[in-house]
Structure 1
Amino acid sequence: MNTDFIGEKDGFVIRLAKADDVVNYYEQNYCPLDKEVARLTGCKEEFSKEEVVSFFLKSLEENDRYFFLIIAPDGDIIGESVINEIDWDLRRANFRIGLYRQAERGKGIGTWATEITRDFAFEKLKLHRLELDVYSFNPRAETVYLKAGFKREGVLRDAIMDGAKYADDILMSILEDEWRTLKTQR
């Protein structure tokens, strides 16, 4: 199964991350990390080069993860789309996505990347369930996930902090039968 390249649209590409991407991944996205990206993903705002390089390279070796990069037409890495925490026995996994550049948000790139990664999870990996969580202060992402067929499963009320305020963590998933129905309707 060729999983290196999973899609292209309007010059944007999604493909598997490779070890020789690590320097560009760090320099193009973590110098510095966009504060809004840190807020919406729940990660810290600053990472050392060693932290990013170590995480990146470790991610490439894990057999429960598909780590895709979203690449702009100019060749810059602008985001990632990840299927991780794969449980091959239960055929379930977690999904996460991040667009690092504010200028690239709101153009449909996240929607496209979500849908193509979702399709990869069901078509190529033969998963039964793909799940995610999204913070209540990120309604744009929740809208993307709903459009891609994910359904709300529950809410962990006041489970995270948004600055000095509590916020909810919304749990969502899509099952293989729901995905099949969605694909036949299009």
Structure 2
Amino acid sequence: MNTDIIDKKDGFVIRLAKEDDAINYYEQNYCPLDKEVARLTGCKEEFTKEEVISFFLKSIKADDRYFFLIIAPNGAIIGESVINEIDWNLRCANFRIALYQQTERGKGIGTWATEITRDFAFEKLKLHRLELDVYSFNSRAEKVYLKAGFKQEGVLRDAIMDGDSYADDIIMSILEDEWKALKQGK
């Protein structure tokens, strides 16, 4: 797999993950995993080193996934941006992103990584559809996705728990023609 840098901005880099990133990925982001990241992504709060490393190595070898790392100017892995569940026949895929370091949120890094990954999906992979889901209590992420051209398709009402309360799971997507129009400034 090509490990070239996909893009750079203000010292931050987004590039494909590679095998020798596995230990740093675990140590810099899962020791411990930020509770807010677990909440916003719907994953459990604690993982063993073996779970994370195994998943990481499996992910970078998968034929239906592009696993990008978001690297800070100091070289630390601060997040990931992933195109997964690629259906090459339908030319569609799922998108997910996580910024693990609280200090790096609110700086536009997530918006930049979302747009770079979206463009990669349509330019390089020639996808027709890119979809995602976002929880209703993650309004900041929903705004990023809307800004990147994703449109709300539906809502799975009360589909998840946020503590003791139910929350919605919002389904969003962007189609190839919508992406082309966005890039042309229409």
Q: Would the TM-score normalized by the shorter structure come out above 0.5?
A: yes
Q: Which residue of 1 aligns with 2:39?
A: 39
Measured against aligned partners, the alpha-carbon deviations of 1:61-80 in whole angstroms (never above 9, x if no partner) come to 10000000000000000000
Secondary structure of the residue aligned to 2:184 is helix
CA distance in 2, matches of 1:62, 1:4: 18
What amino acid sits opposite 1:161 in the alignment?
M
- State the identity %: 84
Report the counterpart of residue 12 of structure 1 in structure 2.
12
RMSD over equivalenced CA pairs, Å: 1.1
Distance 1:109 1:168 in 2: 25
Kindly report which structure 2 residues correspond to 1:17-166, keeping only aligned pairs within 5 A, or say none. 17-166=17-166
Q: Distance in 2 between matches of 1:95 and 1:69?
A: 14
Asked if the contact 2:2–2:16 (Cα under 8 Å) also holds between the matched residues in 1, the reply is no
| Distance of 2:2 and 2:54 partners within structure 1 | 26
TM-score (norm 1): 0.98
SS state at 2:39 partner:
helix
| Superposed displacement of residue 3, structure 1 | 6.3
Post-superposition CA distance 1:67-126 (Å, at most 9, x none): 000000000000000000000000000000000011100000000000000000000000
- SS of corresponding position for 2:31: coil
| C-alpha distance in 1 between matches for 2:128 and 2:6 | 19
Q: Give the match for residue 171 of structure 1.
A: 171
Query: For the Cα contact (< 8 Å) 2:3–2:18, is it kept in 1?
Result: no
Q: Take 1:3 and 1:30, find their aligned partners in 2: how far apart are those partners? A: 23
Structure 1: state its 5+ residue gaps: none
- The TM-score with structure 2 as length reference comes to 0.98
Q: CA deviation at 1:2?
A: 5.4
Letter in 1 for 2:111: T
Post-superposition, which runs of at least 4 consecutive aligned residues in structure 1 deviate over 4 A?
Answer: none
